[in-house]
Every structure is written in C-alpha cells, then in structure tokens.
Structure 1
C-alpha cells in the first residue's frame, strides 16, 4: 500500500530506558512502513534534559501549543539515586508536571479492555476513565523540614494591603511542613475540560474531594465545579442524557468498587495519580492504560500511563530477553495519529489508527501476549508468551491482514 501522507507534524517526545527502546521499534515496525511519519522531535531522555537544563521539556510543551497534538514516551522523574546514576546537576522536576503546567490541561486515563482478561473487580463491565487535574497541589508544593521547636505560619501578602497570617502549628520538636496552592483559573479549566469530555464521550461525570475536612481548599474545587455546571453545562448534560455527580472522595471509592464502570471519575492531582494506578491495575495491567492530556485551548498530548520499565531495561543492557508490554505506548501513537487525522481532514490516518488498535487486541485475544498479561489470562486458548519484538511482529502481521 502507498504510505499515508501527513500535512502537519506531530510533536514527538522521546523518553527513557525500556520504553525508549520500544518507542524506536514501534516506529520502525508498525508506523513507518505505512505512514510518511512527520514529527517535530524532542529528546526528553534524562541525559538531554541534563544537557539543556530541562529547557528541552519546556520547548516540547511550547511546540505542542503551536502544533496542537503531541505523543510522548515515558520519562524518568529523578530521585536521589537517579541523580547519582546519571550524574545530574540537580534533581530535575517531572517532565509530565512541567508539560501539564504549561498546557494547563487535564489528564484523562482509561483502561484498554480485552476479552480473556477480566477486571479484578468482577462487576466492572465497562472502562472507568480517570480525569486527573494536572496543575498545582503537592506537585508544586513548597516543603520545609522543621529542625526544632517554633511556630509555623501561613502568610499571604496581597498586592495592596496588609499581610494576613494564620498559625499552622506550634512545634515542640522537629517535624515537616508543606504548602500547597491552586488557582481559580486552573480549577475552572479543569472543570470545563471534564464537562466537555463527558459530553463528547457521552459518559456520566463524577467528581470527588474531601470538602468536609478541607473547608477552603477542597471546597473551592467543589464550588467551582457546581457553578460552571449550573451555568454552562446542566442543560447540555440533560439533553445528552448524562449526569454530573459530586461526592466525598472516600464515598466515591466505595461507589466505584460497587459500580459497573462506564463513567468519568474526576479527581484532584494527587488523587488522580493514585486512583489511575489502582483502576488500571484492577482492570489488568498498567501497560493497558491510555492517557491523554487535554488543554482548554484544544491541545492534546498522548502518552502511556506507566513508567520507563527500569527492570526490563537493565536486563536488555545485559543482552537478556525481555517481554515488555508495548500496548499503552502503541495506543499513545494511535491516539495522536487519529487526532492529527481528525484535525487535518485525513480519514486514512484515522482508519489506520483504528486498525492498528484492533490488531493489538486481536493478537492478545488470540492467545499471544507479553508475560505480564499471560499471568492474567483467562481465555479459552492457552496463552503463548512472546518477547518484546516477537509481540510487535505479531501485531504487524495481524495489521497487514486488516489493511
């Protein structure tokens, strides 16, 4: 077949470790033979972030604002051990956090369901999409390790007027402090992104915080969501036959476990981080989770929800065989290519994305899969475990039948 032509480049953000290896193989085996791939390439691998003092991450985010659609490989967020391993000048911040802050977007994560792998929660019949606020809170917090006795205060100095002070705690000994923040503008963008995504996907929207305890911080989230819903979206939700529902985060957890799925669960930044891992693992595997960052300006950044698969990378460096699941990374590419085709009026690109996704699922449902899925397999045919490259080649062979 003639390769599909693109008219606008994707912003491509390369990453680290085993996912970086899979990234190159996915392009070579599943994409470049069929698409004249046009990308604006940014290397977000840790050595390049160190070399550029993390400017490359900022540049990639700004390029996404310009071109509208990006696809990102998993990246390392360094800790103290990584600083030593990579000889870093400092502990660079999460690339995802930097990109989210610049795009001011909301992350929507949903499991990829396949026949033969049942969710741990047996009554879950449909995917649960986690909508994670992508700004502020603990990810942009200021911390202080208290050395000994003293008074901790929360101080706000307005642009005009006198400072406002509140006592946080009178320390009698050592401890720790953390200051968090968010903005009405970002919370409002979060709410509108969630409401619009619910309308686009025709799914109910749940939102949960802990406003009974956090009577200012969390309650502000609740109030903004309710005001925007009442004034901008209530009639549209009613017309679409979908519901907006608010509850406390602990009640939401209980309701989610008892549900059949098929809704969007909007969470604050940290809650969304934790709950997306819980939901994806309960549905099967972290490697079977889509993730897309959607900004209020209509920009999209697709990625896998999992990390860089460090343990497999160390095996790869030793020349040992790995069986690493590439599905979430493939679906990041297909999501970005589908959106690029939609925006640019290239239906062939949208059709190719759908066929590649269908090929991925067909291979697994036919009994061929990576090691992580083989341990979960409940299908009628015996599971055959393939190594990383064999699995990609099996997907390619299935894709060829569908093109």
Structure 2
C-alpha cells in the first residue's frame, strides 16, 4: 500500500451535532484517513460540550482558526427552548457560527455544487449564483427583551466622551418584545472588499441588495459604504476586468434572481444571506449541494457545510435506520480545507488529493449512484436510492481508481 500523503501543518477541526456528526466521522474514516496522514487541531463543538465549557470551546476554536489559518467545521445545533429541555442545558448560547464569524469578522461565500443530470428548480438558471454573506452583526449579535407591560423603550448611546443620545423605539401600550441590532463601519467595508476581490478572481458581476428605502440609516449605511469601497478602491479594476456592480433593493433582487440566468455574486447582509443561500441551494438541487467558506480579512478561512444537523434523520438513525442523508457538503468542506492547507504549505500532493476526492464525488452522482435528495431530481432517475454508507462507499471505490 502506498504511503499516506503527509501534511506540514494541521487544519482546525470543529466537530458538530446529530446526523452531520455521524457522517463527519464516516467521511473521515472512508474517504480521508486511508489516504492522508491527517493532522488536525480538534475542538468538539457538539452542543453538550459547548454547554459543559460555557461556550468557551467555541471561542477557543475561532482563535485557533485565526492562528492556524485554516479550519473545517461540521454543522452544529443552535439551541432554543426545546433543545434546552431535550439536552438538559444550563444555558442557551448564541449560534456557534455567529460567534466564530464575529471573532474572525469575515464574509461567507456560498456556491452551489453543480452536477449534470440534476436540473435546478428554476428553469432559467444556467450558471451558479454565489452568495456573499456578511458574517458580522445584525440579528446574530442582537440584544432582545421581553416587555412585560406598558412603558417606553429607548435606544441609548453613551459615548466615552460627550453627551448621551436617546431615541424612542416605541411607547408600549402592553406586553411585547423588542430587539436591538448593530454593525460596524469597518466590518461593512471589509465585507465589500471581500466581495469585490472574490468577484475579480471569479470574473463575476456583483449585486448588492438591502432595504435602504425603509431602513434609511442602517441599510443606508451598508449601501453608502459598499458604494464608497467600490468607487475608491475597485472601480478601475472592475472596469478593466469587465466586472460590473450595481445596487438594488432586496425585494427587487429576489424578483430578478428567479427570472435570470445566474452567473453572478449576490452580496447580502447577514440574515438576508442566511435565507437566500438556502433558497439558492435548494433551487439548484439540494441544501447538501452547496460549498461554504468564511474568509477573514486576516486571510484565515473556515470551510463548512451550509446546511443544518439533519435532526429528523438523526432520530431515525438512533432507532437503527440507515438514512439516505447526503454528505456531499461535508466532503467539500474537507476538500476545501485540505486544498487551502496545501496551498499555504506548498504541498501539491495534498491539493491533488482534494481535487480527486471532489471529482470522485461528482462522478459518483453523475454515474447514477446518489442519495435520496438527488435521486428525486435526477434525470434519468437512478435505478435505486443509496443510503449514506452506500453512497460514501461508492465514492471510495471511484477514489481508488487509477
């Protein structure tokens, strides 16, 4: 047997929850460890361990990615009241993705994995749509309060020097709820820069969409800063490369997207990007067929699956069922991280392995071996639907081909 491919430096590995945690181990065992002398700095971001460490493990993992330069993350649970009861949690901590993104202050780029035979639900789409999602602030770093009864809710800004500013949010006539959000000019500017740099590399037009007609200050600031970065830093480069940029309202963008051919970078605020990336992935084929990479201004990157933990499949797996959960996005998270590690460490053999694993995964699907989410969309339909273990095994057989 040939010697395993070596690694100079580790990737930061962030383990996760439920069905994706099961498949995470399967992908490593069947598709990576037989070929690579894998080096990782491991962090268990499973919900139980996050609760046990008071979420310190999440912060430590983000700092490790900043230090090592490359991370790879499994899907994780963001707990709510039901999860608190189910897992007997001490606290409800923020989304681990939000915590990591806040520390790295990056932009998330999500792109559908396109394979022949899987046609998008939107017939006009001919090219992939890349979502550039701002990964700081907004609802993911919010402050919330349940209002018990009548009273005044205010926004209050207390500067380190100078006079306090106050603004009435609402005169509450009874019980209700209130939420406060924030963002930072520097983070918005870095978001814009990341999007234009990505677009120049990929030769993609850039759309940026928000709702400044309603949110005149908050979304208006996004529009202003995005345009400023374009005009002062990227306009000439974009013109030379044939890369266009325009701003539109988010509702107008949605209407354009479902009638267009695709083939552009759609820059979105944090929550908009969360929602629209799932829409694009689902319409392009499956939530399990989308790559996702967080790019920090420092150059650190984190690859992850764009979907959740596949909760219902996990419950079925716990009862002994071999589910037909698609691990493609988990595979591409690993290949992205290994390829980036190879690039940084100048280890071409590792980079070639990552490309070969991606090619084997796509070839497996295109040759008719696929899990249920893709089988329902495939033309022609496959002779049978594979469970996750059969699908991973089919990829492994093709990966061994000379």
* Residue 160 (structure 2) pairs with residue 159 (structure 1): yes
1:306-358 Cα shifts (integer Å, max 9, x gaps): 11111111111111121110000000000011111111111111111111111
CA distance in 1, matches of 2:28, 2:170: 54
Task: Report deviation, 1:239.
Answer: 1.5
Task: Report deviation, 1:151.
Answer: 2.0
* Residue 389 (structure 2) pairs with residue 389 (structure 1): yes
Which runs of structure 2 are paired with 1:2-401 in the superposition (5 Å)? 2-379=3-380, 382-401=382-401
CA distance in 1, matches of 2:181, 2:91: 22
Task: Report deviation, 1:170.
Answer: 1.8
Task: Report deviation, 1:128.
Answer: 0.5
For normalisation by structure 1, the TM-score amounts to: 0.97
| Contact 2:101-2:135 within 8 A present in 1 as well | yes
1:141-196 Cα shifts (integer Å, max 9, x gaps): 11122222222222211111111122222222222211111111111111111111
Task: Report deviation, 1:382.
Answer: 3.2
| Contact 1:377-1:383 within 8 A present in 2 as well | no
Three-state SS of the structure 2 residue aligned to 1:36 is coil
CA distance in 2, matches of 1:324, 1:12: 21
| Contact 1:369-1:383 within 8 A present in 2 as well | no
Three-state SS of the structure 2 residue aligned to 1:35 is coil
Task: Report deviation, 1:255.
Answer: 1.2
Task: Report deviation, 1:383.
Answer: 3.9
CA distance in 1, matches of 2:53, 2:310: 24
CA distance in 2, matches of 1:364, 1:114: 7
Three-state SS of the structure 2 residue aligned to 1:258 is coil
Task: Report deviation, 1:258.
Answer: 1.4
CA distance in 1, matches of 2:181, 2:27: 39
CA distance in 2, matches of 1:337, 1:298: 16
Task: Give the CA RMSD over aligned residues.
Answer: 1.1
CA distance in 1, matches of 2:382, 2:309: 29
Task: Report deviation, 1:243.
Answer: 1.0
Segments of 5+ residues of structure 2 without an aligned counterpart are: none
CA distance in 2, matches of 1:284, 1:72: 22
CA distance in 2, matches of 1:383, 1:56: 45
CA distance in 2, matches of 1:238, 1:224: 19
CA distance in 2, matches of 1:93, 1:328: 23
Three-state SS of the structure 1 residue aligned to 2:258 is helix
CA distance in 2, matches of 1:223, 1:82: 40
| Contact 1:50-1:89 within 8 A present in 2 as well | yes
Three-state SS of the structure 2 residue aligned to 1:100 is helix
Moved more, 224-233 or 173-182: 173-182
Moved more, 138-147 or 359-368: 138-147
Distance 1:136 1:271, change over 3 A: same
CA distance in 2, matches of 1:41, 1:145: 38
Three-state SS of the structure 1 residue aligned to 2:171 is strand
Distance 1:299 1:383, change over 3 A: farther
CA distance in 1, matches of 2:153, 2:293: 39
CA distance in 2, matches of 1:86, 1:382: 39
CA distance in 2, matches of 1:374, 1:171: 52
